[in-house]
Amino acid sequence: METKKALPILFAIMFLVMVGFGIIIPVMPFYAEEIGATPTELGLLMAVYSLMQLLFAPMWGRVSDRIGRKPVIMIGIFGLSLSFFLMAVSTQLWMLFVARILGGILSSANMPTVMAYVADITSEEDRGKGMGIIGAATGLGFIFGPAIGGIFSEASLHIPFYIAGASSLLTFFFVMGILKESLTPEHRKSKTSKKTSILKAFNGPVSILFILQLFVSLSLSGLEATFAYFASEKAGLGAVKLGYIFMIMGFASAIVQGGLVGRLTKKLGEGFVIQLGIIISAIGFILILFINNFATAALYLTIFGIGNGFIRPSVSSLLTKRSTTGHGSTTGLLSSFDSLGRIAGPPLGGWLFSVAIGMPYYSGIILSIVALLLYQVYRVKVRHVEAN
Protein backbone atom coordinates (compact mmCIF):
# COMPACT_ATOMS: atom_id res chain seq x y z
CA MET A 1 0.00 0.00 0.00
CA GLU A 2 1.37 3.42 -0.94
CA THR A 3 2.69 5.46 1.99
CA LYS A 4 0.72 8.58 1.01
CA LYS A 5 -2.55 6.61 1.09
CA ALA A 6 -1.75 4.40 4.10
CA LEU A 7 -0.57 7.03 6.62
CA PRO A 8 -3.85 9.01 6.66
CA ILE A 9 -5.76 5.73 7.10
CA LEU A 10 -3.48 4.69 10.00
CA PHE A 11 -3.91 8.17 11.51
CA ALA A 12 -7.70 7.77 11.36
CA ILE A 13 -7.52 4.26 12.87
CA MET A 14 -5.37 5.28 15.84
CA PHE A 15 -7.38 8.47 16.38
CA LEU A 16 -10.65 6.50 16.51
CA VAL A 17 -9.12 3.80 18.76
CA MET A 18 -7.85 6.40 21.23
CA VAL A 19 -11.12 8.37 21.18
CA GLY A 20 -12.89 5.15 22.20
CA PHE A 21 -10.30 4.51 24.89
CA GLY A 22 -10.44 8.12 26.10
CA ILE A 23 -14.25 8.21 26.35
CA ILE A 24 -14.24 5.96 29.43
CA ILE A 25 -11.38 7.74 31.30
CA PRO A 26 -13.45 10.39 33.14
CA VAL A 27 -16.31 7.94 33.77
CA MET A 28 -14.47 4.84 35.03
CA PRO A 29 -13.86 5.97 38.67
CA PHE A 30 -17.55 6.87 39.19
CA TYR A 31 -18.78 3.76 37.34
CA ALA A 32 -16.57 1.45 39.43
CA GLU A 33 -17.61 3.25 42.62
CA GLU A 34 -21.29 2.79 41.71
CA ILE A 35 -20.69 -0.97 41.39
CA GLY A 36 -18.96 -0.96 44.79
CA ALA A 37 -15.22 -0.58 44.16
CA THR A 38 -13.00 0.89 46.86
CA PRO A 39 -10.21 3.35 45.86
CA THR A 40 -7.68 0.50 46.14
CA GLU A 41 -9.80 -1.75 43.88
CA LEU A 42 -10.15 1.11 41.40
CA GLY A 43 -6.35 1.44 41.33
CA LEU A 44 -6.05 -2.30 40.66
CA LEU A 45 -8.70 -2.03 37.95
CA MET A 46 -6.64 0.64 36.17
CA ALA A 47 -3.31 -1.14 36.73
CA VAL A 48 -4.43 -4.58 35.51
CA TYR A 49 -5.03 -3.17 32.00
CA SER A 50 -1.45 -1.86 31.77
CA LEU A 51 -0.15 -5.12 33.24
CA MET A 52 -1.85 -7.13 30.46
CA GLN A 53 -0.35 -4.77 27.88
CA LEU A 54 3.09 -5.23 29.43
CA LEU A 55 2.77 -9.02 29.17
CA PHE A 56 1.06 -9.39 25.79
CA ALA A 57 2.30 -6.53 23.53
CA PRO A 58 5.52 -8.39 22.57
CA MET A 59 3.50 -11.51 21.72
CA TRP A 60 1.19 -9.59 19.37
CA GLY A 61 4.18 -7.89 17.75
CA ARG A 62 5.73 -11.30 16.99
CA VAL A 63 2.39 -12.66 15.75
CA SER A 64 2.09 -9.73 13.31
CA ASP A 65 5.60 -10.54 11.99
CA ARG A 66 4.35 -14.05 11.21
CA ILE A 67 0.80 -13.61 9.91
CA GLY A 68 0.69 -9.96 8.80
CA ARG A 69 -0.33 -6.64 10.34
CA LYS A 70 -3.98 -6.28 9.28
CA PRO A 71 -5.45 -9.35 11.06
CA VAL A 72 -3.63 -8.46 14.30
CA ILE A 73 -4.84 -4.84 14.18
CA MET A 74 -8.38 -6.17 13.66
CA ILE A 75 -8.03 -8.51 16.67
CA GLY A 76 -6.87 -5.59 18.80
CA ILE A 77 -9.72 -3.28 17.84
CA PHE A 78 -12.38 -5.98 18.14
CA GLY A 79 -11.02 -6.86 21.59
CA LEU A 80 -11.26 -3.23 22.64
CA SER A 81 -14.87 -3.04 21.43
CA LEU A 82 -15.79 -6.27 23.23
CA SER A 83 -14.27 -5.03 26.50
CA PHE A 84 -16.24 -1.74 26.33
CA PHE A 85 -19.54 -3.57 25.78
CA LEU A 86 -18.72 -5.98 28.65
CA MET A 87 -18.04 -3.00 30.92
CA ALA A 88 -21.33 -1.41 29.87
CA VAL A 89 -23.32 -4.44 31.06
CA SER A 90 -21.21 -5.13 34.19
CA THR A 91 -23.22 -5.28 37.40
CA GLN A 92 -20.49 -6.66 39.68
CA LEU A 93 -16.87 -5.74 40.24
CA TRP A 94 -15.48 -9.08 39.01
CA MET A 95 -17.18 -8.46 35.65
CA LEU A 96 -15.34 -5.15 35.31
CA PHE A 97 -12.06 -6.91 36.07
CA VAL A 98 -12.77 -9.57 33.43
CA ALA A 99 -13.56 -6.84 30.87
CA ARG A 100 -10.38 -4.88 31.71
CA ILE A 101 -8.17 -7.99 31.60
CA LEU A 102 -9.65 -9.15 28.28
CA GLY A 103 -9.38 -5.61 26.87
CA GLY A 104 -5.75 -5.33 27.98
CA ILE A 105 -4.78 -8.69 26.45
CA LEU A 106 -6.40 -8.06 23.07
CA SER A 107 -6.00 -4.29 22.66
CA SER A 108 -2.25 -4.57 23.36
CA ALA A 109 -2.10 -5.67 19.71
CA ASN A 110 -2.97 -2.17 18.45
CA MET A 111 -0.05 0.17 19.09
CA PRO A 112 2.92 -2.13 18.32
CA THR A 113 1.28 -3.48 15.17
CA VAL A 114 0.33 -0.05 13.83
CA MET A 115 3.90 1.16 14.47
CA ALA A 116 5.25 -1.96 12.74
CA TYR A 117 2.93 -1.19 9.79
CA VAL A 118 4.41 2.33 9.61
CA ALA A 119 7.93 0.85 9.64
CA ASP A 120 6.93 -1.51 6.79
CA ILE A 121 5.69 1.23 4.47
CA THR A 122 8.12 4.09 5.15
CA SER A 123 11.67 4.61 3.95
CA GLU A 124 14.31 5.10 6.66
CA GLU A 125 14.44 8.87 6.09
CA ASP A 126 10.63 9.20 6.40
CA ARG A 127 10.30 6.79 9.33
CA GLY A 128 10.30 9.55 11.96
CA LYS A 129 7.52 11.39 10.12
CA GLY A 130 5.36 8.25 10.05
CA MET A 131 5.89 7.50 13.75
CA GLY A 132 5.15 11.15 14.57
CA ILE A 133 1.83 11.02 12.73
CA ILE A 134 0.77 7.98 14.78
CA GLY A 135 1.83 9.79 17.97
CA ALA A 136 -0.23 12.83 16.94
CA ALA A 137 -3.31 10.66 16.28
CA THR A 138 -2.93 9.03 19.70
CA GLY A 139 -2.61 12.40 21.44
CA LEU A 140 -5.61 13.95 19.67
CA GLY A 141 -7.75 10.90 20.46
CA PHE A 142 -6.91 11.32 24.15
CA ILE A 143 -8.03 14.96 23.95
CA PHE A 144 -11.41 14.40 22.29
CA GLY A 145 -12.29 11.07 23.96
CA PRO A 146 -12.54 12.27 27.58
CA ALA A 147 -14.51 15.35 26.48
CA ILE A 148 -17.09 13.12 24.73
CA GLY A 149 -17.22 10.76 27.71
CA GLY A 150 -17.77 13.62 30.13
CA ILE A 151 -20.65 15.07 28.09
CA PHE A 152 -22.57 11.79 27.69
CA SER A 153 -21.99 10.63 31.27
CA GLU A 154 -24.43 13.30 32.45
CA ALA A 155 -27.32 11.26 31.04
CA SER A 156 -26.06 7.89 32.32
CA LEU A 157 -22.73 6.40 33.35
CA HIS A 158 -23.42 3.41 31.07
CA ILE A 159 -23.78 5.46 27.86
CA PRO A 160 -20.06 6.34 27.37
CA PHE A 161 -19.17 2.63 27.43
CA TYR A 162 -21.75 1.84 24.74
CA ILE A 163 -20.49 4.76 22.64
CA ALA A 164 -16.87 3.60 23.05
CA GLY A 165 -17.85 0.04 22.08
CA ALA A 166 -19.79 1.20 19.02
CA SER A 167 -16.96 3.54 17.97
CA SER A 168 -14.42 0.71 18.22
CA LEU A 169 -16.70 -1.68 16.30
CA LEU A 170 -17.06 0.86 13.48
CA THR A 171 -13.27 1.24 13.45
CA PHE A 172 -12.97 -2.56 13.14
CA PHE A 173 -15.14 -2.55 10.00
CA PHE A 174 -13.23 0.48 8.68
CA VAL A 175 -9.96 -1.48 8.98
CA MET A 176 -11.54 -4.56 7.42
CA GLY A 177 -12.75 -2.64 4.38
CA ILE A 178 -10.08 0.01 3.79
CA LEU A 179 -6.69 -1.07 5.13
CA LYS A 180 -4.48 -3.25 2.95
CA GLU A 181 -1.82 -5.61 4.28
CA SER A 182 1.69 -4.11 4.46
CA LEU A 183 3.70 -7.28 5.08
CA THR A 184 4.03 -9.52 2.02
CA PRO A 185 4.15 -13.32 2.62
CA GLU A 186 7.85 -13.46 1.67
CA HIS A 187 8.70 -10.86 4.33
CA ARG A 188 6.93 -12.68 7.17
CA LYS A 189 9.20 -14.20 9.80
CA SER A 190 9.39 -17.95 10.39
CA LYS A 191 8.28 -19.19 13.79
CA THR A 192 10.80 -18.66 16.57
CA SER A 193 10.54 -19.31 20.28
CA LYS A 194 9.29 -16.57 22.57
CA LYS A 195 12.59 -16.47 24.48
CA THR A 196 14.68 -16.21 21.30
CA SER A 197 12.49 -13.46 19.84
CA ILE A 198 12.73 -11.29 22.98
CA LEU A 199 16.48 -11.86 23.33
CA LYS A 200 17.01 -10.90 19.70
CA ALA A 201 14.92 -7.74 20.01
CA PHE A 202 16.61 -6.81 23.31
CA ASN A 203 20.16 -7.26 22.07
CA GLY A 204 23.19 -5.05 21.49
CA PRO A 205 23.17 -1.24 21.68
CA VAL A 206 19.40 -1.01 20.92
CA SER A 207 18.64 -2.51 24.37
CA ILE A 208 19.68 0.88 25.83
CA LEU A 209 16.92 2.63 23.83
CA PHE A 210 14.27 0.41 25.46
CA ILE A 211 15.56 1.36 28.93
CA LEU A 212 15.69 5.04 27.90
CA GLN A 213 12.00 4.86 26.92
CA LEU A 214 11.20 3.24 30.29
CA PHE A 215 12.71 6.22 32.15
CA VAL A 216 10.82 8.67 29.95
CA SER A 217 7.55 6.77 30.53
CA LEU A 218 8.19 6.65 34.30
CA SER A 219 8.68 10.42 34.50
CA LEU A 220 5.61 11.15 32.35
CA SER A 221 3.23 8.87 34.25
CA GLY A 222 4.53 10.17 37.59
CA LEU A 223 3.69 13.71 36.46
CA GLU A 224 0.24 12.72 35.16
CA ALA A 225 -0.61 11.03 38.48
CA THR A 226 0.33 14.01 40.66
CA PHE A 227 -0.04 17.20 38.62
CA ALA A 228 -3.70 17.79 39.56
CA TYR A 229 -2.82 17.78 43.29
CA PHE A 230 0.32 19.86 42.70
CA ALA A 231 -1.51 22.50 40.62
CA SER A 232 -4.33 22.67 43.15
CA GLU A 233 -1.86 23.20 45.98
CA LYS A 234 0.41 25.69 44.17
CA ALA A 235 -2.07 27.62 42.01
CA GLY A 236 -5.55 26.76 43.34
CA LEU A 237 -6.62 25.18 40.04
CA GLY A 238 -9.79 23.06 39.87
CA ALA A 239 -10.83 20.18 37.60
CA VAL A 240 -12.20 22.34 34.75
CA LYS A 241 -9.07 24.47 34.43
CA LEU A 242 -6.86 21.38 34.70
CA GLY A 243 -8.84 19.83 31.84
CA TYR A 244 -8.10 22.89 29.70
CA ILE A 245 -4.40 22.76 30.62
CA PHE A 246 -4.06 19.10 29.60
CA MET A 247 -5.98 19.87 26.39
CA ILE A 248 -3.57 22.70 25.52
CA MET A 249 -0.59 20.45 26.24
CA GLY A 250 -2.12 17.64 24.16
CA PHE A 251 -2.68 19.86 21.14
CA ALA A 252 0.88 21.25 21.33
CA SER A 253 2.34 17.74 21.60
CA ALA A 254 0.19 16.50 18.66
CA ILE A 255 1.32 19.43 16.46
CA VAL A 256 4.97 18.68 17.28
CA GLN A 257 4.58 14.95 16.54
CA GLY A 258 2.51 15.42 13.40
CA GLY A 259 4.61 18.21 11.90
CA LEU A 260 8.03 18.87 13.42
CA VAL A 261 9.29 15.36 14.27
CA GLY A 262 9.33 14.17 10.67
CA ARG A 263 11.15 17.26 9.39
CA LEU A 264 13.74 17.29 12.17
CA THR A 265 14.51 13.54 12.05
CA LYS A 266 14.88 13.74 8.27
CA LYS A 267 17.24 16.72 8.51
CA LEU A 268 19.16 16.08 11.76
CA GLY A 269 18.52 12.41 12.60
CA GLU A 270 16.57 10.66 15.35
CA GLY A 271 19.42 10.92 17.85
CA PHE A 272 19.41 14.72 17.80
CA VAL A 273 15.61 14.85 18.18
CA ILE A 274 15.63 12.35 21.10
CA GLN A 275 18.23 14.44 22.95
CA LEU A 276 16.38 17.69 22.16
CA GLY A 277 13.15 16.19 23.51
CA ILE A 278 14.79 15.01 26.73
CA ILE A 279 16.38 18.43 27.35
CA ILE A 280 13.08 20.30 26.72
CA SER A 281 11.24 17.83 29.02
CA ALA A 282 13.80 18.45 31.78
CA ILE A 283 13.36 22.23 31.37
CA GLY A 284 9.58 21.66 31.59
CA PHE A 285 9.99 19.75 34.87
CA ILE A 286 12.10 22.59 36.31
CA LEU A 287 9.57 25.25 35.24
CA ILE A 288 6.58 23.30 36.63
CA LEU A 289 8.05 23.77 40.11
CA PHE A 290 7.40 27.52 39.72
CA ILE A 291 3.76 27.53 38.59
CA ASN A 292 1.54 30.04 40.43
CA ASN A 293 -1.55 30.55 38.20
CA PHE A 294 -3.45 29.13 35.20
CA ALA A 295 -1.21 30.82 32.59
CA THR A 296 2.10 29.58 34.02
CA ALA A 297 0.69 26.07 34.60
CA ALA A 298 -0.54 25.89 30.97
CA LEU A 299 2.72 27.28 29.55
CA TYR A 300 5.14 25.18 31.60
CA LEU A 301 3.20 21.92 31.18
CA THR A 302 3.00 22.60 27.44
CA ILE A 303 6.80 23.03 27.28
CA PHE A 304 7.12 19.64 28.97
CA GLY A 305 4.54 18.14 26.56
CA ILE A 306 6.41 19.46 23.51
CA GLY A 307 9.65 17.88 24.74
CA ASN A 308 7.94 14.58 25.48
CA GLY A 309 6.29 14.64 22.05
CA PHE A 310 9.70 14.58 20.37
CA ILE A 311 10.93 11.47 22.16
CA ARG A 312 8.64 8.45 21.56
CA PRO A 313 8.27 8.73 17.74
CA SER A 314 12.02 9.24 17.36
CA VAL A 315 12.87 6.26 19.60
CA SER A 316 10.37 4.09 17.66
CA SER A 317 11.88 5.20 14.36
CA LEU A 318 15.47 4.58 15.46
CA LEU A 319 14.64 1.16 16.93
CA THR A 320 12.94 -0.11 13.77
CA LYS A 321 15.99 1.01 11.77
CA ARG A 322 18.58 -0.55 14.09
CA SER A 323 16.88 -3.74 15.30
CA THR A 324 17.69 -7.01 13.52
CA THR A 325 14.34 -8.66 14.40
CA GLY A 326 10.97 -8.06 12.73
CA HIS A 327 9.39 -4.64 13.18
CA GLY A 328 6.51 -6.16 15.18
CA SER A 329 8.81 -7.84 17.72
CA THR A 330 10.67 -4.55 18.20
CA THR A 331 7.62 -2.29 18.57
CA GLY A 332 5.90 -4.87 20.80
CA LEU A 333 8.82 -4.89 23.21
CA LEU A 334 8.91 -1.07 23.18
CA SER A 335 5.20 -1.02 24.10
CA SER A 336 5.99 -3.34 27.02
CA PHE A 337 8.62 -0.96 28.38
CA ASP A 338 6.11 1.88 28.00
CA SER A 339 3.52 -0.14 29.95
CA LEU A 340 6.04 -0.94 32.68
CA GLY A 341 6.64 2.80 33.11
CA ARG A 342 2.87 3.44 33.25
CA ILE A 343 2.45 0.75 35.93
CA ALA A 344 5.34 1.85 38.15
CA GLY A 345 5.14 5.62 37.54
CA PRO A 346 1.84 6.54 39.28
CA PRO A 347 2.52 4.78 42.63
CA LEU A 348 6.13 6.05 42.59
CA GLY A 349 4.94 9.59 41.79
CA GLY A 350 2.24 9.37 44.49
CA TRP A 351 4.75 8.20 47.10
CA LEU A 352 7.23 10.97 46.18
CA PHE A 353 4.41 13.54 46.34
CA SER A 354 3.56 12.37 49.85
CA VAL A 355 7.20 12.96 50.87
CA ALA A 356 7.24 16.49 49.38
CA ILE A 357 4.95 17.98 46.72
CA GLY A 358 7.84 18.93 44.42
CA MET A 359 9.56 15.52 44.58
CA PRO A 360 7.87 13.94 41.48
CA TYR A 361 9.25 16.83 39.40
CA TYR A 362 12.74 16.71 40.91
CA SER A 363 12.72 12.98 40.15
CA GLY A 364 11.55 13.83 36.61
CA ILE A 365 14.59 16.07 36.18
CA ILE A 366 16.86 13.27 37.43
CA LEU A 367 15.20 10.66 35.18
CA SER A 368 15.63 13.02 32.21
CA ILE A 369 19.34 13.42 32.96
CA VAL A 370 19.69 9.61 33.25
CA ALA A 371 17.88 9.19 29.90
CA LEU A 372 20.25 11.72 28.29
CA LEU A 373 23.27 9.87 29.69
CA LEU A 374 21.84 6.55 28.45
CA TYR A 375 21.67 7.98 24.94
CA GLN A 376 25.38 8.92 25.16
CA VAL A 377 26.14 5.31 26.19
CA TYR A 378 24.10 4.10 23.21
CA ARG A 379 26.12 6.34 20.86
CA VAL A 380 29.43 5.03 22.21
CA LYS A 381 28.28 1.41 21.88
CA VAL A 382 27.08 1.94 18.30
CA ARG A 383 30.44 3.45 17.35
CA HIS A 384 32.24 0.52 18.99
CA VAL A 385 30.12 -2.02 17.08
CA GLU A 386 30.60 -0.18 13.79
CA ALA A 387 34.38 0.09 14.36
CA ASN A 388 34.58 -3.69 14.83
| Domain match, 334 and 382 both | yes
Across residues 173-202, what is the average pLDDT?
73
| Domain match, 323 and 247 both | yes
Q: Per residue in 63-91, pLDDT tens?
A: 999 999 999 999 999 999 999 999 999 99
Q: Which residue has the higher pLDDT, 24 or 295?
A: 295
Domain contains 191: no
Residue 40 per-residue DSSP state: H
CA distance 265 to 132: 10
Cα–Cα–Cα angle for 198, 203, 209, rounded to 5 degrees: 100
| Domain match, 200 and 291 both | yes
Percent of the chain having pLDDT more than 70? 96
Confidence of residue 218 (pLDDT cuts 50, 70, 90): very high
Across residues 324-345, what is the average pLDDT?
90
Domain contains 226: yes
| Domain match, 4 and 146 both | yes
Mean pLDDT, the chain, whole residue set = 90
CA distance 182 to 132: 19
* CATH at residue 277: 1.20.1250.20
Q: Per residue in 166-180, pLDDT tens?
A: 999 999 999 999 999
| Domain match, 119 and 202 both | no
Residue 199: what pLDDT?
A: 63
What's the structural domain count of the chain? Answer: 2
| Domain match, 25 and 109 both | yes
| Domain match, 208 and 350 both | yes
Domain of 126 in residue numbering reads as 1-180
Residue 3: what pLDDT?
A: 63
Q: Which range scores top for mean pLDDT: 39-43, 65-69, 367-371?
A: 367-371
Domain contains 294: yes
pTM score, whole prediction: 0.88
| Domain match, 47 and 16 both | yes
Q: Of 129, 150, 180, which residue constitutes the final position of a domain? A: 180
CA distance 66 to 325: 12
Domain contains 190: no
Domain contains 188: no
Across residues 318-324, what is the average pLDDT?
89
